[in-house]
Structure 1
Amino acid sequence: MQPNLTVVITGASAGLGRAIAHEFAKLGARVGLISRDLPALEATAAEVERLGGTGATYAADVSDDRAVEAGAASFEERLGPIDIWVNNAMISVFSPIKEMEAAEFRRVTEVNYLGYVHGTLAALKRMLQRNRGRIIQIGSALAVRSIPLQAAYCASKHAIVGFTDSLRCELIHDKSNVKVVVVHMPAMNTPQFTWLKSRLPNLAQPVPPIYEPEVGARVILHAALTSSPRREYWVGGSTVRAIVGRKFIPGLLDFYLGKTGYKAQQGKEADLPDRPDNVWHPVSTTLGAHGPFDKRSRPFSLEAQVSKHRGWFVLGCGLFGAALCARTFLTR
């Protein structure tokens, strides 16, 4: 695919979505940006323009299918036919299941899963008639291996994979040139940990190792531009270990995560009970693509590079990782 692209990114006002917008802007792409936070979207659009692209904004909650469809129509009118659609918008609630409210499960599902469905439908409506285009779903290691305290998020990510697998089969049946790709991400240094809803006593944090969002954004760019994209990409060694470990030692991982998962997802600083969260409304922030963990984050991932062309090499690394993972768990 040529760099002269029209790209739409949901959840584009901060974090990974903002980093993805930056990568496409460097190619001179026309980038449509969707999120609930219009001021942050406008700041992202200004960054896109400074980096050499063309930015356009549309404020919408992705849980609203009509709003997502209207955004897609607006972008096609202003920017041209959509070549790439990146579903990225998400929210999360850190809480034991026994303390969760049904409305919170519903809301996370509506944004994280149905938001992807709505974006996919809007993209397909336009791409299928042209018989070209690419839909990229931002997945997670947690789409394969769930962890404690993030049941709603994990379940929504699992649902995205199931939905996408069905879609991929149908596109093959129809002999369509539209492609759909899932990119599974590791823990990343994004602002989500400053505004997610939490019932934990201490401030939530990503489970180390932590990667800068540009690591994932560069893989998204590859998945968008390569002529023969993989069905899935795995970013980060932790993602590889989680996915392979889930296949070979799921029970051991249950036990290990039950013992360590609570502490690993909390920092040392106490959380504030009245801290605003973004479950129902956006939260203003001065942060952009990066969260507050720069000093602890990795700017590069060897596994992310290998995943672009992984084949048998990654299978061998995965088996080695599973063995190493099992050895690590058994010696703790």
Structure 2
Amino acid sequence: MSTTVVITGASAGIGRATARRYGRRGANVVLVARGEGGLRAAADEVTALGGRPFVRPADMADPAQAEGVAADAEREFGPIDVWINCAFASVFAPFDEITADEYRRVTEVTYLGFVNGTRAALARMLPRDRGTIVQVGSALGERSIPLQSAYCGAKHAVNGFSSSLRTELLHRGSRVHLTIAQMPAVNTPQFDWVRSRLGWHPMPVPPIYQPEVAARGVVYAADHPHRKQYYIGGSTAATIWANRLFPALLDRYLARTGYDAQQTDRVPPTGDDNLFTPADRAPADDHGAHGAFDDEAHAHSWQEALLRHPGTTALGAGAATLAAVAGVRRLTRSAA
């Protein structure tokens, strides 16, 4: 019997790459996003790979639309086995240059969109006492950086909300599982369509990974949801551990380097951003999974590979700790 998976933010980036992996498994894949172009192209890919797609446009910031997604998914394919929350929005700018409406919109999509999706999924999973929810998180949910205060705040909120809900599920003895896949910097199209007030084209903070690395981590987390969270990419593990050990040092380092590290030497994008309306409104406006940084992005991660081999978990944790210590030594020299 085919697995039924709902993926929000499925039109591009990590969500798109994850949809492809489930397509290869022959899964029933419910593709959710606002834009028509990316969703239609994603559906064609899922079909070509052997899966069964169902396109369901929705804005996850609206709880009624999230509920409609879940209801339609189960009418189309039956019970939802896996729900993956991946939709987000952001603004690249100093805090005092982000308007109240912009801040609210980022929070509604990137945080409340996860709350709405989780609520809709749980309404169906709890009575059956089975199912898995995967939150696509970020290293920035534990270690904030400049110029992304709205996004970092929302990802921190996802962590807090998910931890609280997990304890409630444990209290109930529920067999519904909730886990988080914490992501590194990923080469997605968001840097071409994000709302930005930077002087140059925004970019992810290196090291950068391809969406396929992230998607492998998401699917692994869905297959093994008993852990609270998974760190995808060596930089995620190193960043989070370094922040736990030396947060003040990282503050000073990021204050010095964080602005330049998030900008290229290219002119900023000139097209429409996707904060309030999708960037792929027309069927031909497909942006795919990859962004503009293929030349810099890594297609593989030693840490993510170790993650998928349980016998090497301790080795991976030790390597991440050593990477964190080495990173802190570099930061110490830079911040001195």
TM > 0.5? yes
**Residue 266 of structure 1 pairs with residue 263 of structure 2:** yes
Number of residue equivalences? 328
- 1:188 equivalent in structure 2: 186
- 1:292 equivalent in structure 2: 292
- 2:239 equivalent in structure 1: 242
- 1:96 equivalent in structure 2: 94
**Residue 65 of structure 1 pairs with residue 63 of structure 2:** yes
Structure 1 CA distance, aligned partners of 2:181 and 2:268? 31
Matches for 1:164-179 after TM superposition, within 5 Å: 164-179=162-177
Q: What SS class does the counterpart of residue 81 from structure 1 fall into?
A: coil
The C-alpha deviation readout for 1:241-264, integer Å capped at 9, x for no partner, is 110011001001000000000000
Q: What SS class does the counterpart of residue 295 from structure 1 fall into?
A: coil
- Paired residue type of 1:144: E
- Paired residue type of 2:279: V
- 1:327 equivalent in structure 2: 329
CA contact (8 A) 2:234 2:320 kept: no
Structure 1 CA distance, aligned partners of 2:51 and 2:39? 15
Structure 2 CA distance, aligned partners of 1:78 and 1:160? 29
**How far apart are residue 125 of structure 1 and its match?**
0.4
Structure 1 CA distance, aligned partners of 2:187 and 2:320? 24
Structure 2 CA distance, aligned partners of 1:116 and 1:75? 17
Of residues 277, 282, 287, the one that matches 2:278 is 282
CA contact (8 A) 1:33 1:45 kept: yes
The C-alpha deviation readout for 1:201-234, integer Å capped at 9, x for no partner, is 00001111111100010111112223x6321110
**How far apart are residue 305 of structure 1 and its match?**
2.1
- Paired residue type of 1:300: H
- 1:144 equivalent in structure 2: 142
The C-alpha deviation readout for 1:122-172, integer Å capped at 9, x for no partner, is 000000111000000000010010000000000000000000000100000
Matches for 1:187-266 after TM superposition, within 5 Å: 187-226=185-224, 229-266=226-263
- 1:39 equivalent in structure 2: 37
Gaps (5+ residues) in structure 2? none
Of residues 5, 8, 22, the one that matches 2:6 is 8
Matches for 1:150-169 after TM superposition, within 5 Å: 150-169=148-167
Structure 2 CA distance, aligned partners of 1:157 and 1:141? 9
C-alpha distance 42-286 of structure 1, shift in aligned 2 (>3 A) = closer
The C-alpha deviation readout for 1:234-285, integer Å capped at 9, x for no partner, is 011111111001100100100000000000000111225x531111000124
- Paired residue type of 1:156: A
**How far apart are residue 103 of structure 1 and its match?**
1.0
- 1:302 equivalent in structure 2: 302
**How far apart are residue 313 of structure 1 and its match?**
2.8
**How far apart are residue 286 of structure 1 and its match?**
3.7
Aligned Cα RMSD in Å?
Answer: 1.3
**How far apart are residue 311 of structure 1 and its match?**
4.5
- Paired residue type of 2:226: P
- 1:107 equivalent in structure 2: 105
- 2:78 equivalent in structure 1: 80
Q: What SS class does the counterpart of residue 165 from structure 1 fall into?
A: helix
CA contact (8 A) 1:38 1:58 kept: no
CA contact (8 A) 2:91 2:148 kept: yes
Of residues 24, 27, 31, the one that matches 1:26 is 24
> TM-score, with normalisation over the residues of structure 2?
0.95
- 1:118 equivalent in structure 2: 116
- Paired residue type of 1:103: D
**% identity of equivalent residues:** 47
**How far apart are residue 296 of structure 1 and its match?**
1.1
CA contact (8 A) 1:68 1:122 kept: yes
Q: What SS class does the counterpart of residue 298 from structure 1 fall into?
A: coil
